[in-house]
Amino acid sequence: MEPVEEDWASALAIVAHPDDLEYGAAMAIARWTAQGKKVVEVLATRGEAGIQTMPPEEVGPLRSAEQVEAARLVGVDTVEFLDFPDGMLEYGLPLRRALAQAIRRHRPEVVVSLNFRETFGPGTYNMADHRVLGRAVADAVRDASNPWVFRDLPEPAWHGVRFALFANSPAAAHFVDVGDHLETGLRALAAHRVYLAHLEGAPDQGEMVTSIVAAAGRAAGVAHAVPFERL
C-alpha cells in the first residue's frame, strides 16, 4: 500500500448517509484538518430511513444533527445535505448534476467518498445507496470539469480535482496513517448516539472500526490506517 499524497489544501467529502464517513474516513479527515486543510462534507440524504423503529420525519433531523456534531469533532465546519431520499438513491442525471454542482461550488483539490464496489470483502454485499452514490461521485468529478455538461448550472466548471478517494474499498491500494487520530474518529462515530443505540444485535461499532483500521495499518506498516481506493 502507498500513502495518500497530502500536498493539497482542500477536500470535499461526499457520502450517502450520516455515519458513512465515521467508519474510518473521519479519522483521515481529522488528520487533514489538524494539518490546516479545509474539508467540507456533503451528504446525499439525511439518513431518515436508517432506523426501522422510528418514523423518518423524526429520524432525519436527529441524524442530521448527529452528523453535524460528528463533523465538528474532526474539524469540519460545513455540512450540507442534498435531501435525496434515503434508501432510494438512483444513479442518473439528477444525482450527478447535484454532485457536480457541489464540486463546482466548493472547488476541492481532493474528493473523498465511500466504497462503491459490490462488496466490502468476502461474504458481504454493499448496500444500494453506497454503490450508487460512489459511482455518481466518480462520474461527477468528470462532469464538474466539463463546461459543456450541466450547462445550466451557474457555477463555472472546476478542473482542479487531482484525485478521488473511496474509503474501505476492497480495491484499496493507498492509505492514510491515522494513528494519532484514532480516538478522535471514534468520538465522531459515537456522536451518532441515537443511530447506534438502535443497532440491535450488531457488534460494537467502535471495536469494528478499530479492527478495520488496525488491519489496514498492518498492511501499510503503521499502527492504524484508513484504506482508500484512489482514482
pLDDT digits (tens, 9 = 90+) for 8-38: 999 999 999 999 999 999 999 999 999 999 9
pLDDT of residue 36: 98
pLDDT of residue 42: 98
pLDDT above 90 (res 93): yes
Q: Which domains does the chain have, with CATH numbers?
A: 2-230 (3.40.50.10320)
Phi, psi of 165, rounded to the nearest 5 degrees: -120, 135
pLDDT of residue 103: 98
Average pLDDT across the chain, whole number: 97
Cell of 4: 495518500
Q: How confident is the model at residue 92 (pLDDT cuts 50, 70, 90)?
A: very high
pLDDT of residue 200: 80
Q: Provide CB contacts within 8 A for 71, sequence distance 6+.
A: 21, 41, 77, 79, 188
pLDDT above 90 (res 95): yes
pLDDT of residue 25: 98
Cell of 111: 474528493
Residue 118 CB neighbours (<10 A): 11
Euclidean distance between CA atoms 123 and 14, whole angstroms: 26
Q: Give residue-wise pLDDT tens across range 107-158.
A: 999 999 999 999 998 899 999 999 999 999 999 999 999 999 999 999 999 9
Q: Give residue-wise pLDDT tens across range 46-80.
A: 999 999 999 999 999 999 999 999 999 999 999 99
Instruction: Report in angstroms the alpha-carbon separations of 13 from 42, 67, 109, 137.
Output: 6, 13, 11, 10
Euclidean distance between CA atoms 96 and 81, whole angstroms: 15
Q: How confident is the model at residue 202 (pLDDT cuts 50, 70, 90)?
A: confident
129 within 8 A of 87, measured Cβ to Cβ: yes
Tell me the sheet residues that pair with 228: 167, 174
pLDDT of residue 100: 98
